[in-house]
Amino acid sequence: MSYLHLAILAPLLFSIFIPFFYKIFRRIHTGWFVLPLPIILFIYFLTFIPITSNQKTIIESLNWIPSLGINFTAKVDGLGLLFALLITGIGALVVLYSIYYLAKDKEKLNTFYVYLVLFMGAMLGVVLSDNLIVMYAFWELTSFSSFLLIGYWYERDKSRYGAQKSMLITVFGGLAMLCGIILLYIMTGTFSITEIVPQSNEIFHHALFIPALLCILLGAFTKSAQFPFYIWLPDAMEAPTPVSAYLHSATMVKAGIYLVARFTPVFGESSVWFWLVAGVGMITLIWGSIFAVKQTDLKSILAFSTVSQLGLIMSLLGVGAAALHYEALDDNIFTVATTAAIFHLINHATFKGSLFMAAGIIDHETGTRDIHKLGGLMHVMPITFTISLIGTLSMAGLPPFNGFLSKEMFFAAMVRVTEMDIFNLETLGVLFPVIAWVASVFTFIYSMILVFKTFTGKYQPEKLGKKPHEAPIGMLISPIILVSLVIIFGLFPNLLSDSLISPAMAAVLPSLLQVGGVFEVHITFWHGLTIELFMTMGVIIMGLILYKTYPKWKKIYKAIPEKLSINGLYDGTIEGSQSVSNKLMNMNMNGSIRSYLVYIFAFFIIILSTTLIWKNAFKLDTSNVSSIGVYEVVLAIFVVVSSISILFVKSRMTSIILLGAVGYTVSLFYVLFRAPDLALTQLVIETISVALFLVCFYHLPKLRKFETRLTFKLTNALISFGVGAVVTAIALSAHSNKLFSSISQYYVENTYEEAAGKNMVNVILVDFRGFDTLFEITVLAIAALGIYSMIKLRLNRGKEG
């Protein structure tokens, strides 16, 4: 195992020890033990920058299931490294922030940090796995760990609701993505992304291309909260603020972005990919920005803002994929979209992470996040105000912050869409800059609402949950670092050009590079009096007008009934499915064991008999059947008579004796068929069974008259006859349809040679089928523990009563 594998698995392994740290060192906040992990990992991944900057890739493989083409292959290229640095860097800041945000005497810190570290490891696995099956395993682990984090305060109804919604939507997308992975394997014969990318031309002309594309995008859209799957993200805000700052601004919601970027070389030349990625991204952008304006909770505003910003990045990746249609890199104006996507990915993590932390500080120090109750906090919380102001201005796309640069590049890319002569963009392309501008206006509005409704205006201490004051310095360090990066990346954007942005672009658009070539990335503030600059001026002017007149036009949001919203559709679907399932359950689960057996056996008869007829599988071949002797006939008659007699006896004791007689008679069959080991096993099992039945039935009351009265029931007779007939037909058909030689000869030849045992049955159970036997024993042990627990629980309840 390489150091790279250890780096990916380190958070998962470290999570095992967190409960011990929590239990042993109760006086110390558990976060202090966790903090070194992301810091060390961040420093470790920084060492890869010189390698990826030279367009080199590191691949380390660890055999897992090589026969199925599934190996734990870790790959670090420009794109994977960028995400790994975000995951570990923001992760370190979030852990530091949570140390001061979560009180060690009020919160279950052991579970919180276990979930957080599990999520960190899962995200590293997603972005650094080259094998798609391994990536999928980590992908679902992100859904599971985020479910636990969102539902961390599980005693709250909203937390449980948000956790359930995120799990249902993202796992649905994950399963769709798995289907896409399988389709890619059918087309290429490999799960390796490195081996799939060179086959993009063959994949493009394959009949399964579109289904695979749609399945992959479903996974990406659900994880990155794209329209209409975005509804889980606002409800996920019930999680603690450190979770929101980590999962919903910098990491988990970027997993879908990563997936789209990673598969752009495979699907990017398709018009379907362009319109779905760019189109859904644009819809998500404007939808999220419009609905962010109506929110009154700080984290809700940031949640819809995140939805909008994710749509912006997604649309840029969609537009950037159009660059694959142009062979020459020189003057390829569409690579600016991919550059903007990667740059804004970094910028969004910095300003949105700081804003989430600032919102958490406000909630922590005032007891509320409702903007109707907040106001005038500028003088009470000056540092938090400064953090919020810088982050908000960057989010609004104003200079001199990093958000302004990537927003200008976004405008440039959207304007240049109209210059494309592909995908019918000569006419429809005009929608892109229009939607981009309108969405930016609403982005400006909710940015102003976020900062000015909170920190300016009338101070209302009577409406606050506690007396407000500035947060402790420990809680301020992380957001201060993030807003410092907002300023640094804004003033010196080319710090990232060669180290992170260019290598990431090489991973997204590899076909545009010549061998040994690099993407020249140069980001500057001033490009002259361009259309993008005039669009920004228009955004500021219109945004200010609409912000000032917001009370007059905000009633428009009430025109859409809640039941007609996507959330209403989701809730209606869940409630409807629960109602239908409850009715079906109440109809079928009536407490009668007989009814349950009727359902099971009826289904058994229908499915198996239909299969036999449909496949024409019933055969009867007596050429290989041994002759039947008088002993077999006598024993068979005795078994049948004993079985039928059980139905007519009126004593439990007699029923047990007859049932035991059937079992002992079967053991005589094994003797006649020269299987002494099976005969001994049957005798032992039958003896134990009869003894257990006798012990149990001894404690039961005597049979009442109506229980001993025998009545004929047609349903029982039909079910009994049907099961017997179907099983007999299957047994005869299996004997008559031998498609390959029996495995028994293999055991005869290898039992002694391979396992040094003379008892074939024992060797098969212990050696050849050792794991099967071990799992059977495990199942029995678990069942025994369950039974013991229930008995113990019942006894304890009796004592308490």
Tokens of 79: 């794109």
Tokens of 253: 């919601």
Q: What angle do CA 80, 204, 221 make, to 5 degrees?
A: 50
Give residue 37's pLDDT: 97
How far is Cα 81 from Cα 447, in angstroms, rounded to an integer? 31
How far is Cα 771 from Cα 488, in angstroms, rounded to an integer? 59
Tokens of 71: 């190996």
Mean pLDDT along residues 411-439? 88
Q: Model-level pTM?
A: 0.83
60 beta partners: 74
Mean pLDDT along residues 256-270? 95
How far is Cα 63 from Cα 66, in angstroms, rounded to an integer? 6
Q: Is 227 helix (H, G, I), strand (E, B) or coil?
A: coil
Neighbours of 451 (CB within 10 A): 21
Mean pLDDT along residues 103-124? 92
Q: Are 265 and 94 in contact (CB under 8 A)?
A: no
Q: Is 297 helix (H, G, I), strand (E, B) or coil?
A: strand
Which of 562-566, 695-699, 760-764: highest mean pLDDT? 760-764
How far is Cα 194 from Cα 207, in angstroms, rounded to an integer? 22
Q: What angle do CA 511, 513, 516 make, to 5 degrees?
A: 130
Q: Is a pLDDT exceeding 70 seen at residue 328? A: no
Phi-psi region of 129 (alpha: psi -120 to 50; beta: other; left: phi over 0): beta
Phi-psi region of 368 (alpha: psi -120 to 50; beta: other; left: phi over 0): beta
How far is Cα 498 from Cα 519, in angstroms, rounded to an integer? 8
Q: Are 519 and 274 in contact (CB under 8 A)?
A: no
62 beta partners: 72
Give residue 794's pLDDT: 67
Q: Is 96 helix (H, G, I), strand (E, B) or coil?
A: helix
Report residue 20's pLDDT band, with 50, 70 and 90 as the boundaries: very high
How far is Cα 82 from Cα 59, in angstroms, rounded to an integer? 16
How far is Cα 333 from Cα 419, in angstroms, rounded to an integer? 10
195-209, 396-410, 711-725: range with lowest mean pLDDT: 711-725
Give residue 19's pLDDT: 93
pLDDT, greater one: 251 or 111: 111
What are the backbone dihedrals phi and psi of residue 560, each rounded to the nearest 5 degrees, phi first? -100, 110
How far is Cα 151 from Cα 530, in angstroms, rounded to an integer? 48
2-6, 322-326, 458-462, 768-772: range with lowest mean pLDDT: 322-326
Counting every residue written for the chain, the total comes to 801
Give residue 796's pLDDT: 59
Q: Is a pLDDT exceeding 80 seen at residue 574? A: yes
Q: Is a pLDDT exceeding 60 seen at residue 111? A: yes
Give residue 326's pLDDT: 66
Give residue 302's pLDDT: 95
How far is Cα 240 from Cα 102, in angstroms, rounded to an integer? 9
How far is Cα 749 from Cα 651, in angstroms, rounded to an integer? 50
Report residue 330's pLDDT band, with 50, 70 and 90 as the boundaries: very low
Q: Are 148 and 115 in contact (CB under 8 A)?
A: yes
Mean pLDDT along residues 279-297? 95
Q: Is 65 helix (H, G, I), strand (E, B) or coil?
A: strand
Give residue 331's pLDDT: 47
Q: How far is CA 234 from each of CA 22, 305, 446, 563, rounded to the nearest angstrom? A: 31, 10, 15, 17
pLDDT, greater one: 799 or 104: 104
Mean pLDDT across the chain: 90
How far is Cα 729 from Cα 731, in angstroms, rounded to an integer? 5
Q: What angle do CA 248, 252, 253 make, to 5 degrees?
A: 60
Q: Is 70 helix (H, G, I), strand (E, B) or coil?
A: strand
List of long-range contacts for 728-731, beta carbons under 8 Å, 24+ apart = 729/609, 729/612, 729/618, 730/608, 730/612
DSSP string, 46-58: HTTHHHHHTT--E
Give residue 329's pLDDT: 47
CA-based nearest residue to 760, from 747, 769, 773:
747
Q: Is 378 helix (H, G, I), strand (E, B) or coil?
A: coil
Residues whose CB is less than 8 angstroms from the CB of residue 779 and which lie 6 or more positions away in sequence, other chains included: none
Q: Is a pLDDT exceeding 50 seen at residue 372? A: yes
Classify burial at 603, counting beta carbons within 10 Å of its beta carbon; exposed 0-12, middle 13-18, buried 19 or more.
exposed
Q: How far is CA 282 from each of CA 208, 233, 255, 439, rounded to the nearest angstrom? A: 27, 18, 18, 9
Residues whose CB is less than 8 angstroms from the CB of residue 291 and which lie 6 or more positions away in sequence, other chains included: 304
Mean pLDDT along residues 689-706? 76
Reported as a single tens digit per residue, the pLDDT across 306-315 is: 999 999 999 9
Percent of the chain beyond pLDDT 90? 63
Q: Are 243 and 150 in contact (CB under 8 A)?
A: yes
Q: Are 101 and 475 in contact (CB under 8 A)?
A: yes
Reported as a single tens digit per residue, the pLDDT across 591-646 is: 788 888 889 999 999 999 999 899 888 888 777 777 888 888 999 999 999 988 88
Q: Is a pLDDT exceeding 80 seen at residue 295? A: yes
What letter represents residue 640's amino acid? V
Q: What angle do CA 275, 208, 200 make, to 5 degrees?
A: 70
- Cα atoms found within 13 Å of the Cα of residue 185, Cβ hemisphere only: 15
Reported as a single tens digit per residue, the pLDDT across 22-51 is: 999 988 999 999 999 999 999 999 999 999
Q: How far is CA 363 from each of CA 182, 297, 358, 468, rounded to the nearest angstrom? A: 46, 10, 9, 10
How far is Cα 473 from Cα 290, in angstroms, rounded to an integer? 35
CA-based nearest residue to 127, from 178, 90, 166, 75:
75
Mean pLDDT along residues 236-241? 92
Mean pLDDT along residues 414-440? 88
Mean pLDDT along residues 671-684? 86
58 beta partners: 76
Q: Which residue has the tokens 């407000």?
A: 468
Q: Is 704 helix (H, G, I), strand (E, B) or coil?
A: coil
Q: Is a pLDDT exceeding 50 seen at residue 553? A: yes
Q: What angle do CA 426, 431, 436 make, to 5 degrees?
A: 130
Sequence-ordered alpha helix ranges (H) in 554-674: 566-588, 593-614, 630-646, 652-672
